[in-house]
Every structure is written in structure tokens, then in C-alpha cells.
Chains A and B, each alone.
Chain A
Amino acid sequence: MEQFLVEPVLGRHIVIGGYDLSFTNSALFMVVVFVLLAVFMAGGLKRQLVPGRWQVAAESVISFIDNMMQVNIGPEGKKFAPYIFSIFMFILFANLVGVLPLAIVPGLHTFAVTSHITVTAVLAFLSFGIVLAVGFWRHGLHFFSLFVPHGAPAWLMPVIIPVEFVSFMVRPFSLGLRLFVAMTAGHILLEVFGSFVVQGLNAGGPLGIVVSILSFVMIIGVSALELLVCAIQAYVFALLTSLYLNDAVHLH
């Protein structure tokens, strides 16, 4: 489980006012993700009349998010597209950087930024905060009518309002938890099968070799699944954020 350890990059803690403000490997990989993202977008936004491959790649992601906003929120969704796009791309790049198999080179292993709930929870609370801000900005105190479904009989209200309230308040937690657990589980799974390969080779004998080979085949399969999960989790995060924004904009 050492791959999840957050430690200062140069081994030196910088403590200011009782807080450890060291530049950790988590922060380092966030910077890496940011640089990759900046390079990708800078190369893709050349606005050529006949786009090259790079520009098509960038534009297809942009139009994908734009389309998602259009479908889920409607014409008013356009102004949220930059936020959803940034969060989608950050999560996607962070997930993909996290599963890069660079650990083949000794002493170098990538750090999955999104496998820590502190990071994903901040992203989730950011989304939730924007939902609350938009809701109260547009509807004022009328926003609380989100907890009262249309057409429910009056005698059901004492039950249904607490239920709706809880299901609303649990959203940021489920949003952050889903991303964090999906990434952590994938990394643990790869590590478990990796340790099977090593232990099988150490045990020796025909059975040990068979176990190693089967585990290695499994690693290849799980890695492919991980790439899928990386993309799906980024998509689901963006999709759910846009659905919650739709609730805030349109109140059911």
C-alpha cells in the first residue's frame, strides 16, 4: 500500500505555524496533471480552419461536454460548461496519470491523485457549493421547494421532506466517495495480482509458474478495465454534477 503514501518530494517537511505545508508527491502529480492539461489544450486550441488531429481531439472533448450540458440542463447550461469541462478533464487526466505503468523504472512511480478522499471530496464539495450558490442565487428561499416533490399528498410530507433532504445532503459524499473508492479499489486489485506474480515466482515449481502466468494475464485484463473505469468515473462525475446543476437551475 506504499503507493498511496503522501510524503514530501525531497524528504523534507516544511512546517509553518504548526501546519505541514510540504510540497508532497500528491501536489507534484497535480502539477503534472495541470501541465499535461495545459499542453493538451494549448496544442488543441489553434483555431485552424482545417483542424489537425490534435485540434480534433480537443474539440471533440469540448463538444462532448457542450452536448452533455445541452441535453441535461438545456440552453442555460452553456455557462456551466467551462466548470464541468475543467473538472472532467482534471479527473480524467489524474486517473490516467495514476495508472501509468512507470513503476517498471525503479524508484519512479506515478501517484494517483484521485485515490485520496481529501482530493475527491474537495472536488465534490466544490460542485455541491456551486449547486447551492446557483440554486439560492436564482430562486432565493424558494430553492427549498426542491425538497417537496410535485403531486405528493400532504399527509406524506413529514416523511418525504426528511428523505429528500437527506438524499440531497448525501450527494457530495457519494460523489467524492465513488471516485475515490473506484480508483483505490482498482489500484489495490492491480497490486494484489502483482504480489501474486512475485510470490508465485518465489515459490517456484510448476504450480508457482502457472499461478504467476495466470496472475500476469489477469493484470493485463484488469489494466484494460482500469482504463475504462478511469474514463467512466470522470464521465460519471461530470454527468452527476450537471444533473445536480439541472436541479438547482430548474427545481425539478
Chain B
Amino acid sequence: MTDLGAMYIGAGLAAIGVGLAALGVGNVFGSFLEGALRNPGAADGQQGRLFIGFAASELLGLIAFVVAILILFVVK
């Protein structure tokens, strides 16, 4: 395998993390909606926590994206 091929495979593997973060973000919003439909009165007060969970789980996907970009363009 050439170095270039290994680089592309590595970047592709790093992109798996982005998809997994998508699962995480979906889980955060899905669980919030599930709880919010059971008790709509309490939902508005929890929006801050919703976005904290969203931010934490999104960050991991963004880091996976950064790793893919670093492998593609920075690593020589």
C-alpha cells in the first residue's frame, strides 16, 4: 500500500467518528423530545441542558472531522 492510499484510508476511518457523533446528537435530541412530550411543562427549563449535551456530543464529531482534515492536508 502506498503512503497516499494509507492516508486516504486513515481519513476515511476518521470520518466514521463523524457518523457516530451524528448518532450521539440524534440521541440527545430524541431523548429530550421523549421527555418533553411526557412533561411539556418542564421542557422549557431544560433547554440549556439540551444544548450542553448537544455541544458536548457535537464536539467529538468535529474533532473526528479535524483529525480527518489533519491526516489529509497536514501529515506528510
Contact = CB atoms under 8 A, between A and B. Distances in A.
Interface of A: 68, 71-72, 174, 177-178, 181-182, 185, 232, 235-236, 239-240, 243
B63 A240 contact: no
A177 B55 contact: no
Nearest to B18: A185
Contacts of B54: 232, 236
A178 to B, nearest CB: 5
Interface string B32-67: 000000000000010010011011001100110110
A72 B48 CA distance: 8
A185 B62 contact: yes
A177 B51 CA distance: 17
Interface SS majority for chain B:
helix
Nearest to A71: B48
B58 A240 contact: no
Contacts of A68: 48
Given A174-B59, A178-B55, A178-B58, A239 B66 contact: no
Contacts of A236: 51, 54-55
Contacts of B51: 232, 235-236, 239
Contact of B52 (A177, A185, A243): A243
A243 B65 CA distance: 26
Contacts of B59: 174, 177-178
Contacts of A181: 62-63, 65-66
B33 to A, nearest CB: 16
Nearest to A188: B69
B55 A240 contact: yes
Contacts of A232: 51, 54
A72 B52 CA distance: 12
A235 B48 CA distance: 10
27 contacts: A68-B48, A71-B45, A71-B48, A174-B59, A177-B62, A177-B63, A177-B66, A178-B55, A178-B58, A178-B59, A178-B62, A181-B62, A181-B63, A181-B65, A182-B58, A185-B62, A232-B51, A232-B54, A235-B51, A236-B51, A236-B54, A236-B55, A239-B48, A239-B51, A239-B55, A240-B52, A240-B55
Contacts of A243: 52
B65 A185 contact: yes
Nearest to B66: A181
Given A177-B59, A240-B52, 8 more contacts: A71-B48, A174-B59, A177-B63, A178-B58, A178-B59, A182-B58, A182-B62, A185-B62
